[in-house]
């Protein structure tokens, strides 16, 4: 038996839950079982697979309270947990609606008169998903649902930091026999993830750059695709012409949602120097009003920092900023309360790119603000980063905003908002720089990346002409 | 200065050409220069880039004799060299025609009433291409042309085995100033390729599985995309209902074209037992008529085996087959003639999957034939391989052929032909198993894979609603 892993409760700091990673031999066996069952799943056809996914949705709906409860303990926060479940359920709906449009074979004549072309796509047999702790349900299912719809079997290893939601989720799966055959969630740690990568046909990973690189290398050795969505250090540019009320509200929520523990979080704010003072005063005033969700879940808007490691990183970034001349206007420290770690929304000015808070992912409700004098320098600052996930531009002129957005090296750029990507699933976007690798996980590609394209080239006449020697 | 590399002439065996790999520092500098020039290239716009590519085509046309001559010395064969140039030129035409359809930004409303979505795609700055010796021109430009059209700068390192064609090709490039700024062909060996992978933003590789894995790993470390097209061991299935005349002609040419030195070559033939005897007698009769292109280029259809290493591999596979019970009906050995290596089309029966000639890429004009009793066993045999590039099925019933084709694990399957993939550029196909990785290099994906998708999510109203807390 593997060594048990004790799991910390983010509100109490107590280690009150245990998981036991599966032994390698059993995990390999499980992968083989799922892969064997996949052909039947594919043969069910799209409509059959949609039926099963909708049954899963129903099973979740009747199990919703238990799933919410588990997610709340995993993450220490309530509203985002409810939202995760909503997003998960609407994701099933959305994919079931879209799927039939995307999975049709085509047949056509070609530029060569005696050839017909038939195009189809076939799913990878077994997709592996390794997901993080910041949105345990959403990020363990965002790739899983389209992979299942495409006809793949799926094995998911969520983060060992937030494993409690798996039990109610798998309970729901177990009530749907055809789903149970081709979908497993497994408990485990980094070692479990390594074994997984070596036993699947395609791997999806959401998490850190370092682990992402390791997974990409392991996948490259086996020549299997790796789709990675990694860290961000997303900039917001606030132009002189911006609606400051809108910009401060949107940036605040784009920074503090889930206590900043989101890959799309705004982590750097560049404000036109003419409006800097007004901007940060308004931002501080709004930030100051937000309350910690402590001692009860409903005490406020800001949940705990989920991991102690992350709490330490945030404090390190804050200390480093102060050491180098940053000025803190509200918030300013991750504090221990009742065993959990809590951070009030924090605004910092007088920051520069030598500070960790401006050049490494912080993953906390921290809003460092720098000013700029010219639009060119704002773009330069926004692009001065190893990351390229998303960004935001605020201006009353849509044309001005778009012109700037086009010059920012990132896959998704919000105009006059800071978090639309979470609501909008149609937008195709790739991660730039070190923020990821592989097809978009939004839009149509999110489904088609789980399939290999296959072409049937059909000769329609029956004589053979060795054309290459008849030149 | 790096150590010079002496290059063998495949017809004479003489080392009559020298290349000198660039020192690392200069190569890095060259990559940086190309990357700096890329923005201007992109800013030219699609029409501007098409103009430049068509000028390249004109320059090649007026340099055609010199390019043909160099390719003929590189590879020892005439017809395939002329074809390569035709394909290259028609590739430019095709992409210039297609491009404008593929590179349009779109704008649309979304499922959320107050969001507009604008989608665009931006090219990777610098694409690296590492290409093999079997079709020196075709395979060094098949990825290059769409990458240039997409707006990337491109640096190409062709195989050091066939470098002579680069001089006339670069001469043509040098007459087109805007092209010269963003396209380089460089001489070099494996070490040069390693440096290249570490200095580009996306890498395309055509060649062996082993090198492909190394390149994929190096790319994974840098989190850049790697598109690999690797080896094949492509099966042909000949059903009882097949037109045997057609099947033998198509399979013969599918095996011996370019002396079998093609990734799409038919390398395994499975024939319904009822027609086995008729099939191989007809195949042998046709194979026997083909002549070596020795002593002159026009003496026959079959050119030399380009590398001594490959000649040794083919002989090793043949010896291994005979050792294990294979029976050779014509051809049968790679022989030295006048310093080159030559192999007559070779038919082998009584083969099985323990033989190298059935389970490793041979890359020679070798046609091993096994029989099958049931269609199921034919499919099983075809799929019993580490490779999954292409395949062929022969039957007078299109439905029967397609039904089988659907069950073969390969990206492109010819029905009643064995080499349509080289003529047909519309077919989207992925490599299966160890035959490759990444997007299709044919069809629309061939271009779009050089671009990252970028989404602009535009909020169209100006109030801010912290919706996630208003549930």
The pLDDT tens digits for A54-74 are 999 999 999 999 999 999 999
pLDDT at A468: 56
For B316-325, the pLDDT digits (tens) are: 999 999 999 9
pLDDT of residue A448: 94
Query: pLDDT value at position B278?
Result: 98
Residue of B96, B263, B330, B343 with catalytic role:
B263
Positions of chain A with pLDDT lower than 50, given as ranges:
471
Min distance A470 CA to chain B CA atoms (Å): 9
* Cα angle B352-B358-B359, degrees, rounded to a multiple of 5: 115
Please judge whether A457 and B213 are an interchain contact, meaning their C-beta atoms are less than 8 angstroms apart.
no
Q: Evaluate whether B305 touches B311 at the Cβ level (below 8 Å).
A: yes
Question: How far out from the chain centre does Cα B385 lie?
Answer: 20
Could you please state the CATH topology (level 3) that the domain comprising B5-230+435-456 is classified under. Aldehyde Dehydrogenase; Chain A, domain 1 (3.40.605)
Question: Residue A113's pLDDT is what?
Answer: 84
CA–CA min distance A433, chain B (Å): 8
Q: What pLDDT is recorded for position B2?
A: 82
Residue A104 confidence (pLDDT): 83
Give me the interface pTM, i.e. the ipTM: 0.95
Return the number of other C-beta atoms located less than 10 Å from residue B14's C-beta: 12
Q: Which of B217, B406, B468 is closest, CB to CB, to A257?
A: B468
d(CA B389, CA B430): 8
Of B253, B434, B459, the CB nearest to A223: B434
Q: Tell me: pLDDT of B425 over 90.
A: no
pLDDT band at B462 (very low <50, low <70, confident <90, very high): confident
Per the omega criterion (within 30 degrees of 0), is the bond before A295 cis?
yes
Query: Which residue has tokens 């490691």?
Result: A309
Average pLDDT over residues B441-461: 93
Query: Do B221 and A212 lie within an 8 Å CB cutoff?
Result: no
Q: Are B97 and B126 in contact (CB under 8 A)?
A: no
User: Which residues partner with A266 through β-bridges?
Assistant: A234
Average pLDDT of span B441-458: 94
Q: DSSP letter at A21?
A: P
Tens digits of residue pLDDT in B127-147: 999 999 999 999 999 999 999
Could you tell me which residues come within 8 angstroms of residue A430 by beta carbon, excluding any fewer than 6 positions away? A411, A436, A438, A439, A440, B452, B453, B454
- Closest to B173 in 3D by CA, of B51, B56, B66, B31: B56
Are the beta carbons of B469 and A437 separated by less than 8 Å? Answer: no
Q: Using the beta-carbon criterion (under 8 Å), do A417 and B457 form an inter-chain contact?
A: yes
Q: Are A110 and A437 in contact (CB under 8 A)?
A: no
What's the average model confidence in pLDDT over B299-312?
97
Kindly list the residues from chain A whose CB atom is less than 8 angstroms away from the CB atom of residue B245.
464
The percentage of residues in chain B with a pLDDT greater than 70, rounded to a whole number, is 99
Question: A17 has which bridge partners?
Answer: A7
d(CA A299, CA A292): 7
Which chain A residue has the Cα nearest residue B247?
A464
Q: Is B229 a catalytic residue?
A: yes
Per-residue pLDDT of B144-174, as tens digits, reads 999 999 999 999 999 999 999 999 999 999 9
Task: Please name which of B32, B41, B28, B4 lies closest in space to residue B450, comparing C-alpha atoms.
Answer: B41
> Cα(A195)–Cα(A172) distance, rounded to whole angstroms?
26
% of chain B exceeding 90 in pLDDT: 90
Q: Name the residue with higher pLDDT: A2 or B88.
A: B88
For residue B217, list chain A residues with Cβ-Cβ distance below 8 A: 217, 220-221
Q: Over the Cα atoms of chain A, what is R_g? A: 24
Q: Which two tokens stand for residue A301?
A: 């808007």
pLDDT at B468 over 60: no
pLDDT band at B471; cut points 50, 70, 90: very low
Nearest to A334, CA basis, from A261, A266, A263, A387: A261
Q: Which of A223, A254, A391 to mutate to test the interface with B (most CBs of B within 10 A)?
A: A223
Would you call A471 and B253 a contact, using CB atoms and an 8 Å cutoff?
A: no
Distance from CA of B428 to the nearest CA of A (A): 6
Max Cα-Cα span within chain A: 85
pLDDT tens for A127-157 read: 999 999 999 999 999 999 999 999 999 999 9
| Least CB–CB distance from A464: residue in B115, B249, B402 | B249
Count other Cβ atoms within 10 Å, centred on residue B94.
16
**Interface contacts A/B by beta carbons within 8 Å:** 221
pLDDT given at position B467 = 59
Q: What is the pLDDT of residues B351-396, one digit of tens each?
A: 999 999 999 999 999 999 999 999 999 999 999 999 999 999 999 9
- Give φ, ψ of B187 to 5 degrees: -80, 150
Neighbours of B45 (CB within 10 A): 12
CA-to-CA distance for B393 and B400, rounded, in angstroms? Answer: 9
Active site residue B263: yes
How big is chain B by its Cα radius of gyration, in Å? 24
Considering A96, A152, A204, A263, which one is annotated as catalytic?
A263
What is the dihedral angle through the alpha carbons of B344, B345, B346, B347, rounded to the nearest 10 degrees? -160
Q: Helices in A113-268 by DSSP H: which ranges?
A: 136-141, 144-150, 166-174, 177-180, 190-197, 209-222, 244-256
* Among A117, A460, A464, A469, the residue to mutate for chain B (most B Cβ within 10 A): A464
Q: Which of B84, B160, B187, B229 is an active site residue?
A: B229
CB B364 within 8 A of CB B334: yes
* pLDDT, position B430: 95
Angle at which helix A398-405 crosses helix A375-383, to 10 degrees, equals: 40
Highest CATH level, class, for A234-422: alpha beta
pTM, entire model: 0.97
Give the domain ranges of chain A. Answer: 5-230+435-456, 234-422
Interface probe, candidates B468, B469, B470, chain A, greatest A C-beta count within 10 A: B468
DSSP conformational letter for B258? G
């Amino acid at each position: 038996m593997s060594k048990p892993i004790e799991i910390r409760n983010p509100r109490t700091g107590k280690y009150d839950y245990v998981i036991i990673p599966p032994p390698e031999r059993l995990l390999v066996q499980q992968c083989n079982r799922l892969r064997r069952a996949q052909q039947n799943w594919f043969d069910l056809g799209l409509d059959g697979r949609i039926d099963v996914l909708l049954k899963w949705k129903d099973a979740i709906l009747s199990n919703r309270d238990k799933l919410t409860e588990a997610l709340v303990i995993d993450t220490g926060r309530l509203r985002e947990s409810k939202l995760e479940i909503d997003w998960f359920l609407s994701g099933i709906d959305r994919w079931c609606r879209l799927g039939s449009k995307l999975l049709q074979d085509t047949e056509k004549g070609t530029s060569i008169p005696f050839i017909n072309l038939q195009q189809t796509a076939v799913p990878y047999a077994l997709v592996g998903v390794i997901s993080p702790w910041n949105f345990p349900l959403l990020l363990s299912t965002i790739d899983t649902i389209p992979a299942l719809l495409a006809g793949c079997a799926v094995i998911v290893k969520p983060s060992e930091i937030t494993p409690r939601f798996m039990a109610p989720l798998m309970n729901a799966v177990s009530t749907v026999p055809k789903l149970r055959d081709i979908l497993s969630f497994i408990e485990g740690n980094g070692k479990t993830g390594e074994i997984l990568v070596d036993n699947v046909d395609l791997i999806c990973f959401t998490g850190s750059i370092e682990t992402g690189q390791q997974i990409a290398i392991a996948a490259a050795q086996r020549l299997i695709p790796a789709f990675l969505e990694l860290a961000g250090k997303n900039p917001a540019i606030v132009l002189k012409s911006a609606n400051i009320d809108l910009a401060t509200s949107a940036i605040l929520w784009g920074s503090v949602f889930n206590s900043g523990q989101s890959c799309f979080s705004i982590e750097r704010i560049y404000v036109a120097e003419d409006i800097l003072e007004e901007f940060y005063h308004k931002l501080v005033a709004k930030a100051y009003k937000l309350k910690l969700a402590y001692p009860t879940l409903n005490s406020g808007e800001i949940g705990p920092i989920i991991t102690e490691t992350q709490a330490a990183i945030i404090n390190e970034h804050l200390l480093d900023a102060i050491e180098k001349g940053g000025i803190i206007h509200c918030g300013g420290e991750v504090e221990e309360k009742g065993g959990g770690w809590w951070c009030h929304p924090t605004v910092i000015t007088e920051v520069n790119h030598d500070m960790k808070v401006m050049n490494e992912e912080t993953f906390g409700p921290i809003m460092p603000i720098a000013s700029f004098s010219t639009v060119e320098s704002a773009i330069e600052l926004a692009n001065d980063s190893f990351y390229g996930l998303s960004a935001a531009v605020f201006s009353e002129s849509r044309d001005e905003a778009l012109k700037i957005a086009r010059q920012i090296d990132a896959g998704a750029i919000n105009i006059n908002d800071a978090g639309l990507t979470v609501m909008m699933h149609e937008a195709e976007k790739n991660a730039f720089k070190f923020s990821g690798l592989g097809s978009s996980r939004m839009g149509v590609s999110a489904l088609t990346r789980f399939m290999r394209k296959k072409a049937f080239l059909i000769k329609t006449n029956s004589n053979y002409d060795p054309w290459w020697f008849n030149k």
